[in-house]
């Protein structure tokens, strides 16, 4: 098998298939159907992939807006030229209201104190601010309690004027679980909340109603990737997918039954050295592996300092020249050693694939996550900044793109 060809002059990198992001987006949009739109979640630097490149593929798809987790992430999007709505999905720490008001970012509000802080800053800025209200239907980390709507909804209305209430949302805690009943009951609680809030808004004075949504109606949204795949009927005004867009499987328990995303990120590194060693030679910190036969070891320019889980030591593999080879010894910060004895033509400068495809073999994100005792989300967001993110050029045989 010939070596994977590349012109990338790096020791290791993340290769992005941007066409796959667009394909995954369209697959979700088709499922959601009807009038639903997509608000891609691009928090944590677009799940570790690099938000600038991800925006270059999402912007032409005309999403409804973007979701992020922090005021700083929202500012980054604005500085990259994003003019669409941006919603921050975590409560803001007191003091960061100026930033979001200035950047015209939509906050999510989970308590009255947070709303009052926002209203104070928005009032003095002169151009107001939009916010969405989160309803806690069972996730338990933020949001107003779905059981006590009458206690909070009128108080929110009392504070409108400097701020506009434009959306209502909830977040599912187990939309990837085999048991569907938890999500179904969260959805019922959310629908019920939305209906009761609508009645409370209807009964409010005209000038208050003018500060609610567009012509008195709030945007409703709930679905993350797993919910969008499994309950298209919950898509509401828009869905909020993250992981599926970026090639990860959201589900743990029901994986096989769900549509698969096209993989987006490959993690590659170069073979920096190939060394012949005698039987008995040991490798890495703690000498946790010894050669059982005369062997050929390849030193890869990637380690846990790049986000390759240290847990892959003596357990994980790499693909070299289309063959699967084992990682031997511990993964260190900057380097990892693989056993190349069964790939006799392997050579310095070959490309090793730690996640992704080479020839007929693939190492899935979820395989690496499983070996590391975690989920694909954590592997992606753990890819270190020192790995350059490089858009993969189209190759012959690629599925048709945009």
Ligand X SMILES: *Cc1c(COP(=O)(O)O)cnc(C)c1O
Any idea which residue has 């589900």 for tokens? 251
In whole angstroms, the minimum distance from the beta carbon of 246 to ligand X comes to 8
**Nearer of residues 240 and 321 to ligand X, judged by Cβ:** 240
Residues labelled as active-site residues: 43, 285
Residue from the set 41, 51, 57, 379 that interacts with ligand X by CB under 6 A? 41
CA 144, CA 163: separation in Å to the nearest integer? 18
Distance, in Å, from the CA atom of 352 to the CA atom of 12, rounded to the nearest integer, reads 9
- Closest CB to ligand X among 46 and 201? 46
Lookup: tokens for 345:
């033509």
For 80-137, give the secondary structure using H, E and C: CCCCCCEEECCCCCCCCHHHHHHCCCEEEECCHHHHHHHHHHHHHHCCCEEEEEEEEC
Is the Cβ of residue 90 or residue 102 nearer to ligand X in the bound state?
90
Q: Which residue is nearest to ligand X (CB)?
A: 242
The whole-angstrom separation of Cα 358 and Cα 74 is 36
- Which has the closest alpha carbon to 326: 360, 283, 380? 283
Q: Least distance in Å: CB of 224 to ligand X?
A: 3
Yes or no: say if 197 and 204 are a contact pair by the CB < 8 Å rule.
Answer: no
Residues 195-254 that bind ligand X (CB under 6 A): 224-226, 240-244, 250
Read off the DSSP letter of residue 310.
G
Assess contact for 129 and 150: CB atoms under 8 A. no
- At residue 352, φ and ψ (nearest 5 deg) are -105, 135
Here's the x/- map for ligand X, 46-85, by CB under 6 A: it reads as: ----------------------------------------
Instruction: State which residue, 43 or 268, has the beta carbon closest to ligand X.
Output: 43
Q: Which of 171, 249, 323, 392 binds ligand X (CB under 6 A)?
A: 171
Q: For ligand X, what does the binding mask look like between residues 340 and 379, x meaning CB under 6 A?
A: ----------------------------------------
Residues binding ligand X: number (CB under 6 A): 12
What is the C-alpha to C-alpha distance for residues 373 and 355, in angstroms, rounded to an integer? 16
CB of 373 to ligand X, least distance (A): 19
Q: With binding defined as CB under 6 A, does residue 40 bind ligand X?
A: no
Apex CA 374: angle with CA 373 and CA 379, to 5°? 125
**Which residue, 206 or 256, is less far from ligand X as judged by CB?**
256
Nearest-approach distance from CB 67 to ligand X, in angstroms: 6
- Of 89, 131, 187, 297, the one binding ligand X (CB under 6 A) is 89
How far out from the chain centre does Cα 314 lie? 28
What is the smallest separation between the CB atom of 46 and ligand X, expressed in angstroms? Answer: 11
Interface with ligand X (CB under 6 A): 41, 89, 171, 224-226, 240-244, 250
């Amino acid at each position: 098998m010939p070596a994977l060809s590349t012109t990338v002059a790096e020791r290791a990198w993340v290769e992005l298939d941007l066409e796959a992001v667009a394909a995954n987006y369209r697959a979700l949009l088709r499922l959601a159907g009807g009038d639903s739109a997509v608000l891609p979640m691009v928090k944590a630097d677009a799940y570790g992939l690099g938000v600038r490149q991800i925006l270059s593929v999402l912007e032409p798809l005309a999403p409804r807006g973007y979701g992020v987790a922090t005021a700083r992430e929202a500012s980054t999007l604005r500085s990259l030229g994003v003019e669409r709505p941006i919603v921050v999905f975590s409560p803001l720490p007191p003091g960061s209201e100026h930033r979001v008001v200035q950047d015209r970012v939509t906050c999510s509000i989970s308590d009255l104190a947070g709303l009052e802080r926002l209203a104070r800053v928005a009032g003095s800025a002169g151009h107001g601010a939009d916010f969405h209200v989160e309803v806690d239907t069972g996730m338990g980390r933020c949001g107003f309690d779905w059981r006590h709507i009458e206690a909070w909804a009128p108080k929110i209305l009392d504070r409108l004027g400097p701020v506009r209430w434009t959306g209502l949302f909830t977040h599912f805690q187990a939309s990837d679980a085999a048991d569907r009943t938890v999500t179904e009951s969260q959805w019922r609680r959310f629908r019920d909340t939305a209906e009761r809030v609508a009645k409370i808004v209807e009964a409010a004075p005209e000038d208050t109603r003018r500060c609610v949504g567009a012509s008195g109606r709030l945007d409703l949204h709930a679905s993350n990737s797993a919910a969008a795949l499994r309950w298209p009927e919950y898509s509401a005004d828009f869905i909020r997918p993250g992981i599926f867009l970026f090639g990860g499987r959201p589900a743990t328990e029901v994986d096989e039954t769900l549509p698969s995303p096209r993989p987006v990120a490959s993690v590659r590194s170069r073979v920096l050295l190939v060394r012949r060693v005698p039987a008995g030679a040991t490798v890495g910190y703690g000498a946790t592996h010894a050669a059982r036969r005369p062997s050929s070891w390849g030193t890869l320019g990637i380690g846990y300092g790049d986000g390759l889980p240290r847990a892959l030591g003596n357990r994980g593999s790499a693909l070299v020249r289309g063959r699967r080879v084992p990682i031997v010894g511990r993964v260190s910060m900057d380097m990892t050693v693989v056993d190349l004895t069964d790939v006799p033509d392997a050579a310095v400068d070959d490309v090793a694939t730690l996640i992704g495809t080479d020839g007929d073999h693939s190492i899935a994100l979820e395989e690496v996550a499983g070996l590391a005792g975690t989920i694909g989300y954590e592997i992606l967001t753990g890819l270190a900044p020192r790995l350059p993110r490089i858009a993969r050029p189209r190759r012959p045989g690629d599925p048709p793109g945009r």
